[in-house]
Amino acid sequence: MTEAGGHVPSAASGRQVPAAVDLIRAKRDNVPLSGHEIDWVIGAYLRGEVAEEQMSALLMAIYFRGLDPAELRAWTRAMIDSGERLDLSGVGLPTVDKHSTGGVGDKVSLILAPLVAACGAAVPQLSGRGLGHTGGTLDKLEAIRGWRAALSNDEMLAVLRQAGCVICAAGAGLAPADRRLYALRDVTGTVESIPLIASSIMSKKIAEGTGALVLDVKVGSGAFMRREEDARLLAQTMVALGTESGVRTTALLTRMDTPLGRAVGNAIEVEESVATLAGYGPSDLVEVVLALAREMLRLVGIDADPQEALADGRALARYREMISAQGGDPDAPLAVAPHIRTVPAPAEGWLGRLDARAVGNAAWRLGAGRARKEDPVSAAAGVLCLAKPGDWVHEEEPLLELRADDESRFDAALAALGDAFEISQDRPALPAPVIDQIGPAGG
């Protein structure tokens, strides 16, 4: 490619096989890679023909140089083609999914999937686990006795047909290249790359086979993207990838400076989700859920009011059916932490700020999260936000309730909270949780 002798002829194909070091040099020097080169390097990496250190170097070059639109399309396609594609055509209903970029107290999927199903769509949601300060949908649902995240493709389709929604782990056959590459990015400091994030998310969602997709791109201190301009670019990039692949895709930018809802943890977020499905949810959580539900229904052409399905019990019934179909007992009692400690307000006034990342880190230190993907999590641990920004609090009134299986965890959680909240004598202005909608044209 860039140097004589860099390509090795392939007798079988008549095409030249690239050398990994040449692709690294090209990307380092900002020379675009061809679709053939990208197909080869991802395939060769999975076959063990490209060493870990070589792929690490290529990822770092991409981190600094980026991928142009043609490269990004080819990179995403190669990851999709590394595995199987699910066929949801036999479900018999329009299919639509939602993906969140992750946040603190983000239990939206537990409410949204059954809500949209209650309105007439099928929702095949492949979800993940939490890492660090962000919670994972599968970790939350595994707080329910008997519930199973690992379903075969046939089991997933059976639950989808029965309940109209399914939330489960992605199978090993779905975009396996992404699984390998993400693990490598995690240990090489290359996670925070917009094209690599976009291709990672969208390769799995496109391979999933859904007809439409709404992206919930979080913005703020507790989000992966703290700056709105970065979140907007990520949203635009993912929307373009989905649209180009034939998946009707839009995105909502939503705020994540404050925990969503009041519960941060696994069992307590399940409890709050059920309360929301029963009509007793906190206003910020309900607003985000309804905005996403309306967008999902719009994309698949269903004229239904999700607020009615939330109010009349249909969404809760779908939730219970989904949990039961995946082996869970929706009536089983949830784990309760044996140790509780409250954090008091230092003064009287308006709660002006409650930092999402600090609360998420505290929940992690209490045992609700993990530092590595293989670490266990506690179902009962977490943080309950007894007050939210805009609430008037009295001095020494409890602001947060910390819950843990092991009381020795409280000191680390309190240290993680730091200056997570501010008390003000001026009533704070509370911005709307939904910032913007990003359509296929990037508007």
Residue numbers annotated as active site: 99, 178, 185, 200, 204
Query: Using CA atoms, how far apart are residues 261 and 140, in angstroms rounded to an integer?
Result: 15
Q: Which parts of 66-172 fold into alpha helices (H)?
A: 69-81, 108-118, 137-141, 153-163
Q: How far apart are CA 117 and CA 99, in angstroms?
A: 16
* Crossing angle between the packed helical segments 194-208 and 69-81, to the nearest 10 degrees: 40
Q: How far apart are CA 148 and CA 141, in angstroms?
A: 8
Q: Any idea of the CA torsion for 181, 179, 67, 255, to the nearest 10 degrees? A: -120
Amino acid found at 250: T
Regarding beta strands 16-17 and 96-100, do their DSSP bridges make them parallel or antiparallel, or are they unpaired?
A: unpaired
φ and ψ of 125, to 5 deg: -105, 110
Could you write out the DSSP letters of every residue in 328-368?
A: --TTSPPP--SEEEEEE-SSSEEEEEE-HHHHHHHHIIIII
**78 Cβ partners below 8 Å, 6+ apart?**
38, 39, 42, 43, 177
Helix then strand then coil, in percent of the chain rounded to 5, is 45, 15, 40
Supply the DSSP string of 86-105, one letter for each residue: ---GGG-S-BEEEEE---SS
Kindly report the backbone phi and psi dihedral angles of residue 402, in degrees, each rounded to the nearest multiple of 5, phi listed first. -95, 135
Cβ atoms of 349 and 393 within 8 Å: the answer is: yes
